[in-house]
A and B are shown apart, each in its own frame.
Chain A
C-alpha cells in the first residue's frame, strides 16, 4: 500500500543513551540506558516520583535531557522530531478527551489530526474496546474507566509502531485490563515496540522483555 511515505512507519530499534535530567534540584533521570527492538516491551517500574512519566516524556521528545540522547534506528530523534512523532503514540495519565464531545467525536478529532481515519476504522476501534454501546454519549457522562477505554481505542486506531504508555490500566476493571493486555499482545505480535510505565503487573499474558527499575 502506501509505503512510499518516507516519514517514519517502523521502529526497529529504540535506544536510550545515558539520559540525565534535572527538575530544579531533583536529579530525576540518572543515566537511564536501554535498548528496545521490534516486538519487544519494556516495562518501567519505580515508586511514585521515581521519574517514570518524566522518562516517557523525555523519550518522546517533550522534555530535553541535559545529557544523553534517544536514538531511533541509530539516529538522534531530535534531528527529525515530526517523523519520530508520527511513528509513536504517547498515552499519558489523562486521556486527552473533551467532556463536551462524544466518545466517537473525540476519537475522530484526536486521531484525525494525525492520520486519515475512515468511519469503519473508528467503529472497529471502538468495538475493540467494547465501547460501541456508549460511544455516542458525551464524555462528561462517562465513568473514568470508560474514558480510559476511549483512550485505548485511540491507541488501537492510530497504529503507531511505538507505544509509550503511562499507567495504561488505571481505573480499568478486569475486562478493561484484559483489553489492555490483548492490545499490547497484538502490538508486539505485529512487530511494534512498547514502553510501558506501571508499578503493577502487566495485564494478561504479556511479559515484558525487559524491566527497567527507576530508583527515586
Chain B
C-alpha cells in the first residue's frame, strides 16, 4: 500500500499559482471508499492480536458444547448448526466493538462526515473491511468447528457458502447497532440488546440452511432467503449506520 502508486492528481499544489490553488480535484467516491477500506485493513494487520480475538472466541464457544452436552458425535452433530450460528453471532457481536469505536474516538468519523464524500459509502467500505477481517475468517473457520462436532467433510463447501452470506448480513446489521451505541458513554451489553433481535432472521435461515447442508440435502431455499436478507442489509444498513454516526457527532 505504497503512497506513490496513487493516481497523479494536482501535482505539488503548494507551488502552484494562487489562482489555481483551490482547483484540487475531489477524489471520486469509489476511490475514497477504497482508500477507507485499505486503511482499515492496513491498521488491522498492524494490530494482529485484535484480529484473532473473535476467532478464538468462536473456537472457544464451539468447544464449550462438547464439554457441556456430551462428547458423543451423534448428539453433537444434531446440535451443530445451532452451535455454529450462535457462536458466529456472538463472535461477530464481540468484534463489533472495534468497528467504529477507535475512529469515533480520534475524530476520523468526524473527518469522514465532513469530507464531502458520501458517508454512507465510506461506512459501507469500513463495514466491508470489518467483514473481511472477522466475518470471512469466521466463515472459513466454521468447517473446522463443524468437523469437530462430527459433521461430514462433504458438508464443508455448503457451510462455508452459507456462513459467508450470513456473516455479511450480520456485519451490516451490526454496523447500525455499533454506530447507534457510539453516542453513549457505556454501551456494555446494550449493543447485544440492540443487535441480536434484529439479526434473528439471519440466525433462523442460516441455521436451517446449515442443518440441511449437514444432512446432505438441498439448502437452496433458506440460502436464498438468507441472501435476500444480505441484499436488503447491503442496501439499507450503510444508510442507517451513516445516519447513526451523524447523530453521534451532533
Chain B 215-250, CB-CB to A under 8 Å as 1, else 0, gives 000000000000000000000000000000010011
In the bound complex, residues from chain A placing their C-beta under 8 Å from that of B8 are: 116, 118
Report, as a range, how many residues of chain B touch the other chain.
35 or more
Tell me, yes or no, whether B46 is within 8 Å of chain A by CB.
yes
A192 to chain B, nearest CB (A): 8
Task: Tell which of B12, B38, B46, B114 touches A90, judged by Cβ atoms closer than 8 Å.
Answer: B114
Is B35 in contact with A116, judged by CB distance below 8 angstroms?
Answer: no
Tell me, yes or no, whether A55 is within 8 Å of chain B by CB.
no
In the bound complex, residues from chain B placing their C-beta under 8 Å from that of A189 are: 18
Is B14 in contact with A104, judged by CB distance below 8 angstroms?
Answer: no
Chain A 105-134, CB-CB to B under 8 Å as 1, else 0, gives 100111011111111111111001000000
CA distance A83 to B134 in the complex (A): 35
Is A121 in contact with B10, judged by CB distance below 8 angstroms?
Answer: yes
Decide: A94 near B107, CB < 8 A? Known: A109-B39, A158-B24: yes
Is B7 in contact with A116, judged by CB distance below 8 angstroms?
Answer: yes
Decide: A96 near B106, CB < 8 A? Known: A7-B26, A116-B6: yes
In the bound complex, residues from chain A placing their C-beta under 8 Å from that of B117 are: 82, 113-114
In the bound complex, residues from chain A placing their C-beta under 8 Å from that of B21 are: 159, 190
CA distance A150 to B46 in the complex (A): 20
Is A100 in contact with B47, judged by CB distance below 8 angstroms?
Answer: yes
CA distance A156 to B21 in the complex (A): 11
Tell me, yes or no, whether A72 is within 8 Å of chain B by CB.
no
In the bound complex, residues from chain B placing their C-beta under 8 Å from that of A123 are: 12
Tell me, yes or no, whether B11 is within 8 Å of chain A by CB.
yes
Is B22 in contact with A115, judged by CB distance below 8 angstroms?
Answer: no
Tell me, yes or no, whether A142 is within 8 Å of chain B by CB.
no
Within 8 A of A (CB), among B83-137: 102, 106-108, 110-118, 122
Tell me, yes or no, whether B52 is within 8 Å of chain A by CB.
no
Is B115 in contact with A85, judged by CB distance below 8 angstroms?
Answer: yes
B176 to chain A, nearest CB (A): 20
Is B27 in contact with A116, judged by CB distance below 8 angstroms?
Answer: yes
Is B22 in contact with A9, judged by CB distance below 8 angstroms?
Answer: yes
Is B12 in contact with A86, judged by CB distance below 8 angstroms?
Answer: no
Is B14 in contact with A191, judged by CB distance below 8 angstroms?
Answer: no
Is A3 in contact with B250, judged by CB distance below 8 angstroms?
Answer: no
CA distance A164 to B12 in the complex (A): 23
Tell me, yes or no, whether B9 is within 8 Å of chain A by CB.
yes
In the bound complex, residues from chain B placing their C-beta under 8 Å from that of A159 are: 13, 21-22, 24
In the bound complex, residues from chain B placing their C-beta under 8 Å from that of A71 are: none
Tell me, yes or no, whether B194 is within 8 Å of chain A by CB.
no
Report the nearest B residue to A83, measured CB to CB: B116
Tell me, yes or no, whether A50 is within 8 Å of chain B by CB.
no
B4 to chain A, nearest CB (A): 5
In the bound complex, residues from chain B placing their C-beta under 8 Å from that of A97 are: 106
CA distance A110 to B32 in the complex (A): 10
Which 5 pairs show the lowest CB-CB distances between chains A and B?
A: A116-B9, A86-B116, A96-B107, A85-B116, A100-B46
B: residues with CB less than 8 A from A are 1, 3-4, 6-15, 18, 20-27, 31-32, 35-36, 38-39, 42-43, 46-47, 102, 106-108, 110-118, 122, 246, 249-250
